[in-house]
Structures are given as C-alpha cells and as structure tokens.
Homo-oligomer: A and B are copies of this chain.
Amino acid sequence: MHVKLATYFLPALVGPGELDGETAVVIDLLRASTTICHALAAGAKEVVPCLEVDEAKRIAAALPPGEAVLGGEREGVRIDGFDLGNSPEEYRPETVGGRTVVFTTTNGTRAMNVCRGAGRVFIGSFVCLSALCDRLKSAGPINLLCAGTKGKITREDVLCAGAIADRLLSSGAVRDDELNDQARIAWEAWRQATGAYSLQPTAYGLTPALRHSQGGRNLIRLGLERDIEAAAQIDRFAIVPELDLKAWRITAL
C-alpha cells in the first residue's frame, strides 16, 4: 500500500483539518522528543505533556504522593521547583521508573495540540528511529510535524523528518512522488548533511550536523553539548512513544 508522506516545518504551516484521521509524528528533537523516549525507555509509566508550568504543577499535585516527576525547561534551563530539566540522560530508571513524568515543553506541546484531529500521534526522534519507521510502514497517510522553536524553523527537526523520509523511501513504504515539497527538502537536507552521497563520508555525521542547527548552537551556548550527542544516538531504544489524544498522555508501544 502506498501512502502520502507530508512534512510541515512548523505547526503554523499545517492547514485546517489537514491531519484529520491521519498519522502524525511530532518532532521536537532538541530535546523534548529525545527526552520523552529516554523517560519511557527508562521505565516511566507515562509522560504527560503540558504547555504551561502552572498546569504541570497542578497535574503533578493531583497525582498520588511519589507518583509524579516534574520535568521540563524554560530557555534551556530546569524550572525552579522541578525534579528534572530537559536533558535526556537525567531520565533514568532511578529517577523516573514506574512513575508519571509531567513534562512541560512549549514548542513540542504546541505541535501536539495541532494534532488533535489526527488518527494516531507518535513522537519522532533519532533514538527511536527504526522502531518508529517500522510502525509507520502500515500507518496510512503520514504527516511529519516539526515543532521548531518560537515559531522559527529549526534544522534539527527538519533533519530528523528527512531521516524518517529516507527510511520510508528506501524500504519502499513510500514512493518518491508521494512526498510533498517540504518532505523532499527535508530528505535532501538529511542526505546532504550526513554525506550519503559524499565522496568523503567521514567528514560528515549526525552530531556535527546537529551542532550546526539553532537548537544545537543553543545547547552549546548553555554548556549542554552532551545532549546533542544523546539526541544523535540512532536506534538507542526499540520503543515507539505514542500520544493518546483522549487521555493526553504518552506511553511506549
């Protein structure tokens, strides 16, 4: 079965009803998408995405004592009073195992909100790339939604969308003529950045590519370069995070 593969470089570029009943993949690579995968792979029961800090605190306070872990950041830094920031490696079995992570992330949550009419919503990242792409093969029409940052297109999200497109094209799950223009641009950026066609492939790679992105530069400025390396670990986990639109929580498939 052949399907459509659309990419949107920002939530604002999704037209009304455009995702209705279809599969959506939300990509906020540095770092929400990657951190959510780490949390679920570390045994967190679920991740509840929130737009606002107050909302996250309210949801956490309503859970049984010891159940909630408050996580998230503003301007790249852990929020005052929160248990964890937004560094993927903070989310380990000893910090989140068996618990509910109440997670606030502005750009990622905004992108998830745009998906409210979608049939199914997955979270996209490099750390869960193969598992996600396997799942997408039988997912019908696919929409890759890049979160961006504060309304600006960010290259790290576009590269991840391009990697997903590359996998789906090479597996035959999607045909070349089923890509929209943004999907094709993302695919081209991915192939070029990672040197798939390069005569000197060793000069290229995912971590250097991510360093030259808005999110990457921001993390380097904050001294969080390790988070870029964490985000670049393709297939570190074999799970697929899915957002349950009714319950509004993310669990691992």
Contacts and interface: CB of A to CB of B under 8 A. Distances in A.
A31 to B, nearest CB: 16
A74 interface: no
A181 B155 contact: yes
B153 A13 contact: yes
Contacts of A186: 185
Main SS at interface, chain A: helix
Interface string A168-198: 0000000011001110111011011101011
A226 interface: no
A212 interface: yes
A107 to B, nearest CB: 14
Interface in A141-181: 151-155, 158, 176-177, 180-181
27 contacts: A9-B9, A9-B153, A12-B12, A13-B151, A13-B152, A153-B181, A153-B182, A153-B185, A155-B184, A158-B181, A177-B212, A180-B214, A181-B213, A181-B214, A184-B189, A185-B185, A185-B186, A185-B189, A188-B192, A188-B193, A189-B189, A189-B192, A192-B192, A192-B197, A197-B197, A197-B198, A199-B199
